[in-house]
Homo-oligomer: A and B are copies of this chain.
Amino acid sequence: MATIEDVAKLAGSSRTTVSRVINDQPYVTKDKKEKIMDAMRQLGYVPNSSARRLRSQRTETIAVLLPRITNPFFGHLIEAIEEEASKYGYQVIVCQTHDKKQKELDYLQLLKTKQVDGVVMASFTNDWMEIKPFLDSGPIVLCNEYMDTDQVSMVHIDHRQAAYDATIHLIEQGCQHIAFTSGGQETHISRQRKSGFHQALSEHNLPFYSDSKWTEALDVKDGQKVLEHLKSVHPYIDGIFTGSDEVAAGIVYAAAQGNWRIPEDLAVVGFDNQMLSLLMVPSITTIEQPVEDMARKTIEVLVEKMQSKQPQRHTRFVYPYELLKRNSTDRSSVTQSVH
């Protein structure tokens, strides 16, 4: 591989001048500049990025931590993040934590070892106290995940309110026995959702059912299991708020196979407005997050932190969401027939 030195020799000048040309700096005569450009072409010279990194102490790379990329929500998120980051000239490293605390910490090492200039945490399973020390090594922005502190910037929607709205919707549709499912790991988000769910129920003096089977529902398969479990153990349940469209889809699918009527026997709410939720029969009521906007803002905030020297204030950006009412909760006919 040709180095800057080779180019300098061939062009009959010094490394310094070549460097000036590479970086489009002033104070180089047209004549020299052309000679150098020629030499670079001839040698197929390309600046070595490791050397640049060492010299400049920046990597132009960020790490994005997320549970798993095949969850469509995170797929969309990283798609948008990659696009946005690339506009600023940053590479994106994918870090799948699978909700494992250790993996999360391992990937944060990238920040310490200066392999990345900053980190987006869309996976956040450790205690904040474990994460905080990494802030000394570089900026971190929480995306989707959040908590109650002002020691870090965050971009998210109000999951508590979203779950509240969805639950109220179920109640308005006449549901009296409503269940709640969430993914394996207990995160701040799932706590927030549960809290909103509880509030809606208690405001209407409705009972709260709990079953450990409901706290590990992550994907379509889990959704199917949930429905089987409901049918055999809790057949009175007539509404369910799932934290995910995949789980909701699994429930709808299993219901179709097992003669359970949605929404008549069971009204279902998903989360994230994946394509899936629209295509299922019946289509699934869900909550839409402005993923692209959130991704853009996350990168904007992170880039600002990475590029400014002095540590600036941390900010919280709360985005609006939308409850999309679809057929899986449309019990208007059910309610009527009761009267």
Residues of A that sit less than 8 Å from B by CB? 1, 46-51, 53-54, 57, 59, 61, 68-70, 72, 75-76, 78-79, 82-83, 91-96, 109-110, 112-115, 220, 246, 249, 252-253, 256, 275-276, 278-281
Cβ of B79 and Cβ of A70 under 8 Å apart?
yes
What residue of chain B has the Cβ atom nearest to residue A83's Cβ?
B96
Bound: A75/B61 CA distance, A: 21
A253 CA to B275 CA, complexed, in Å? 11
With the chains together, A109 CA to B59 CA distance in Å? 16
A294 to chain B, nearest CB (A): 15
Q: A50-B54, A70-B75, A82-B95 are in contact. List 16 more A-B contacts (CB 8 A).
A: A48-B114, A50-B57, A53-B54, A61-B93, A70-B76, A70-B79, A72-B72, A79-B96, A82-B96, A91-B115, A220-B275, A220-B279, A246-B275, A249-B279, A252-B279, A253-B279
- B79 adjacent to A49 (CB under 8 Å): no
Query: Is the pair B49, A51 in contact by a Cβ cutoff of 8 Å?
Result: no
Question: When chains A and B are docked, how far (Å) is the Cα of A275 from the Cα of B280?
Answer: 12
CB-CB under 8 A from A253, the residues of chain B are: 278-279
| Contact B79–A91 (Cβ < 8 Å) | no
- Cross-interface CB contact of A114 among B50, B68, B76, B93, cutoff 8 Å: B50
Are B54 and A51 in contact, CB atoms less than 8 angstroms apart? yes
Q: When chains A and B are docked, how far (Å) is the Cα of A100 from the Cα of B206?
A: 55
A275 to B245: give the CA distance in the assembly, Å. 12
How near does chain B come to A132, taking the closest CB pair, in angstroms? 14
Q: Are the CB atoms of B78 and A94 closer together than 8 Å?
A: yes
Q: Which residues of B contact A281 (CB under 8 A)?
A: 256, 281
Contacts A/B (CB < 8 Å), 24 sampled: A46-B113, A47-B113, A48-B113, A50-B53, A50-B59, A50-B114, A51-B54, A53-B54, A54-B54, A61-B93, A68-B79, A69-B75, A70-B72, A70-B75, A75-B75, A82-B96, A83-B96, A91-B93, A92-B93, A220-B279, A249-B279, A252-B279, A275-B276, A276-B279
Q: In the complex, what residues of B have CB within 8 A of residue A110's CB?
A: 91
Q: Nearest-CB distance from A129 to chain B (Å)?
A: 16
Report the bound CA distance from A246 to B96 in whole Å: 25
| Closest CB in chain B relative to A324 CB, distance in Å | 16
Option from B46, B61, B115 in Cβ contact (under 8 Å) with A112: B46
Give the residues in chain B near A249, CB-CB below 8 Å.
275, 279
**Pair A92/B91 contact, Cβ less than 8 Å:** no
Kindly list the 9 A-B residue pairs having the minimum CB-CB distance in the complex, ordered from nearest. A50-B53, A50-B54, A49-B113, A49-B115, A46-B112, A281-B281, A69-B79, A70-B75, A54-B54
